[in-house]
């Protein structure tokens, strides 16, 4: 009898075509779900008859309470090699193997610049106006050349964002808790002595930190209050790094020029959520890693993970 494999939150129904599933077709039946389960009860019911689950990034949490309700589950494949939404200890207790996949930093870098440029040049406002017969030019773009780009987090993604900033002729500075002047120089960025200095002197601020207890709520009302009235904030990292209520407040008051956000406290955003209608906000539905190449890597490696598990030699194990 074949094992059953659930592919969760496959919003674009892309899993079937992003990779070749034929190597495991004789052993598993794959069922793809294009909708999101809003509660643990709903998810537990959906997954009750599945042996394998493939989940993208951290879209779906797997806490101990959910894992305990899935006695048939034997393998979780999560895209990427870092996932904070899975209780690995609980998975181990229940005999569940957890595997990851390859991932690339390129798509979130590109989306960061799509948001930043969209904000700076009023792309959405002007494009909508053109299509709807509105005024011919209603905004004055913010220049990038000669302006300061402050990057919070100069890792794999942040350092690439810095490279693009330099190509635009921007003055790039960076800060994080562990960043040194030497490391900043290696990445081609100036060193900000504190986050307060970075926030108060930058025209554009981009967040590229890993979510941890040290970074959760790192940018609250006090920190956002340091930003210049003409400054822009971009967050394609993790929602919890920026206090959402504080961000909504500064946007509504016009205390900053605007924000570009790809991550939210609750995903998918419920209908009527204030982030759907906030002024001065350019928001996208967590598209940072959603690209053809990344999906090919995610699902291609998922097939490899499943095949290796079935052969008794799991690869890319997490935990």
* Residue the block writes with tokens 């929602």: 239
Annotated active-site residue in 208, 223, 238, 304? 238
In the 8-state DSSP scheme, what is residue 191? E
Under 8 Å CB-to-CB from 176, ≥6 apart: which residues?
152, 153, 154, 209
Distance CA 61, CA 64 (A): 10
Q: Which residues lie closer than 8 Å to 242 by C-beta, 6 or more apart? A: 207, 218, 219, 224, 233, 235
Maximum distance among all alpha carbons in the chain? Answer: 64
Closest CA to 121 of 316, 257, 298, 292: 257
* Length of the chain counted residue by residue: 319
Instruction: Reply yes or no on whether 160 is catalytic.
Output: no
Query: Does the active-site annotation cover 286?
Result: yes
Burial of 230 (0-12, 13-18, 19+ CB in 10 A): exposed
Q: What is the CA radius of gyration of the chain?
A: 21
Interior CA angle at 24 toward 23 and 30, to 5°?
130
Strands of the 28-32 sheet, one edge to the other: 28-32, 3-7, 52-55, 75-78, 97-99
How far is it, in rounded angstroms, from Cα 190 to Cα 204?
A: 14
Selecting among 267, 273, 307, 316, the annotated active-site residue is: 267
Q: Which of 57, 147, 208, 286 is catalytic?
A: 286
Q: Is 145 marked active-site?
A: no
Residues recognised as catalytic: 238, 267, 286
């Amino acid at each position: 009898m074949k094992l059953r494999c659930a592919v969760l939150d496959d919003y674009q129904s892309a899993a079937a075509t992003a990779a070749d599933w034929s190597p495991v077709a004789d052993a598993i039946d794959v069922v793809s779900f294009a909708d999101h389960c809003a509660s643990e009860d709903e998810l537990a019911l959906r997954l009750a008859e599945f042996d394998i689950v493939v989940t993208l990034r951290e879209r779906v949490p797997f806490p101990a309470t959910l894992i305990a309700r899935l006695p048939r589950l034997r393998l979780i494949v999560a895209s990427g090699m870092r996932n904070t939404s899975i209780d690995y200890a609980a998975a181990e207790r229940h005999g569940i193997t957890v595997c990851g996949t390859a991932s690339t930093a390129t798509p979130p870098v590109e989306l960061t610049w799509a948001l930043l440029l969209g904000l700076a040049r009023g792309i959405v406002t002007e494009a909508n106006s053109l299509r709807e017969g509105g005024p011919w030019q209603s905004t004055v773009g913010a220049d990038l050349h000669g302006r300061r780009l402050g990057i919070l987090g100069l890792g794999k993604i942040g350092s690439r964002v810095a490279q693009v900033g330099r190509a635009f002729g921007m003055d790039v500075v960076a800060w994080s808790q562990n960043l040194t002047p030497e490391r900043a120089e290696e990445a081609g960025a100036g060193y900000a002595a504190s986050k307060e200095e970075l926030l108060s002197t930058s025209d554009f601020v981009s967040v590229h930190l890993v979510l941890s207890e040290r970074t959760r709520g790192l940018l609250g009302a006090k920190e956002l209050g340091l930003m210049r009235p003409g400054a822009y904030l971009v967050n394609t990292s993790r929602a919890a790094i920026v206090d959402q209520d504080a961000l909504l407040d500064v946007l509504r008051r016009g205390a900053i020029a605007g924000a570009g956000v790809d991550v939210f406290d609750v995903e998918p955003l419920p209908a009527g959520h204030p982030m759907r209608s906030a002024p001065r906000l350019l928001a996208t539905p967590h598209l940072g890693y959603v690209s053809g190449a990344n999906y090919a890597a995610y699902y291609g490696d998922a097939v490899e993970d499943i095949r290796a598990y079935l052969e008794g030699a799991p690869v890319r194990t997490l935990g």
